[in-house]
Amino acid sequence: MDPLYKAIGWLLAFFYELVPPHNLGISIILLTCTVMLVLFPLTAKQTRSMISMQKVQPEIKRLQQLHKNDKQKQNEEIMKFYQENKINPLSGCLPLLMQMPVFFALFHVLRDVKKKVPTSGQFATLFHDICPGAETASACKNGKGLTFLGMDLSKTAMEAKGTFTSTLPYFVLVGLVVLTGWYQSRQTMARQRQNPNAAPVNAQMQMVTKILPIMFGFFSLNFAAGLVVYFVASNGWRIGQQQLVLNKIYDAAHATPGGTTVVDAKSTERPPGGDGPEKPGTPKQQGGVDPKKTSGARQPTPHPRSKSKKKKRKR
């Protein structure tokens, strides 16, 4: 992954050179937004794939219930349904897998900036500001920490020393990681609850989404502040992206019918010998008999008492 590391390091050095005055924190934020913008088409594709899968869940559940005693037949019918409706169940995972190397590369570069940015040429300013007087990364034994909002971006919150006011920004940054992570998960959970086709969120998943941001904040205490800036910036981007773009994709998909034909999960097939699948919405009597078919059937014989009462009235 060295070529990817160098590409991201070059971008970071480019933004550092581009934005005066030179500030590593702003450069990290601009780099984060650029990477997230480049990856947005994959994110949108993943979202549309999830919507398609949610729309067909009623039919998938119907097929599973219909062939619950024959797993092979069940899988064949589900795959046939996917093929007929041109749905790839793995298409939602592929964009996520393609994003993972980029996020790992960002993590790797920001963990030790001086080893991944250009050491010579037009965009070597960042390296020389971190390693004054050094010509190569190997010659830079103890790099100089660059500051952002009063924080040394090379130090962790646990390594920060000094007065309360000088160490407070580190812990505020970690708190923002927890807060933005919690709000992002809250957005996702709210969207799932509003979707009529989505599976109900179980209590265990709700607990995980509540604990995960706290755990991530705990890990951020031991990450360099520059990397924590990236976490906050990426969370903020995802919150805005979900609020302004992805929610509109969901709303548009549920407001207008898509190209996929979905059968109501409550619909069932007639037993062998019947007239084929039942049409949803047909009124039925108890026992599944159509009232139209009973119009010519023999009517029940009236009770003898009712006849005697009629005769008395005639007399």
The secondary structure of residue 115, as a DSSP letter, is G
Out of 37-41, 138-142, 228-232, give the one with best mean pLDDT: 228-232
Percentage of the residues of the chain whose pLDDT score is greater than 70: 72
**76: closest CA among 94, 61, 64?**
64
CA distance 22 to 300: 94
- How far, in Å, are 47, 117, 169, 193 from residue 52 at the CA level? 9, 42, 43, 17
pLDDT digits (tens, 9 = 90+) for 179-195: 999 998 888 777 666 56
pLDDT digits (tens, 9 = 90+) for 175-231: 999 999 999 888 877 766 656 555 555 677 677 778 888 998 999 999 989 989 999
| Residue in the block written with tokens 């409550």 | 266
pLDDT digits (tens, 9 = 90+) for 97-123: 777 888 788 888 888 888 889 988 889
pLDDT digits (tens, 9 = 90+) for 47-71: 777 777 777 778 888 888 888 888 8
Task: Please list the alpha-helical segments (H only) found in the chain.
Answer: 2-18, 24-38, 40-55, 57-66, 71-84, 93-111, 125-130, 164-194, 203-220, 225-241, 247-255, 304-314
User: Helix count (H) and strand count (E) of the chain?
Assistant: 12, 2
Evaluate if residue 133 carries a pLDDT over 80: yes
pLDDT of residue 193: 64
Question: Which pTM value belongs to this model?
Answer: 0.69
| Residue in the block written with tokens 């706290």 | 214
Tokens of residue 89, six digits:
């169940």
Residues shown for the chain: 315
| 106, 29 Cβ separation under 8 angstroms | no
Domain extents for the chain? 146-257
pLDDT of residue 199: 55
pLDDT digits (tens, 9 = 90+) for 229-285: 999 999 999 898 888 776 777 666 666 554 444 444 444 444 444 444 444 444 444
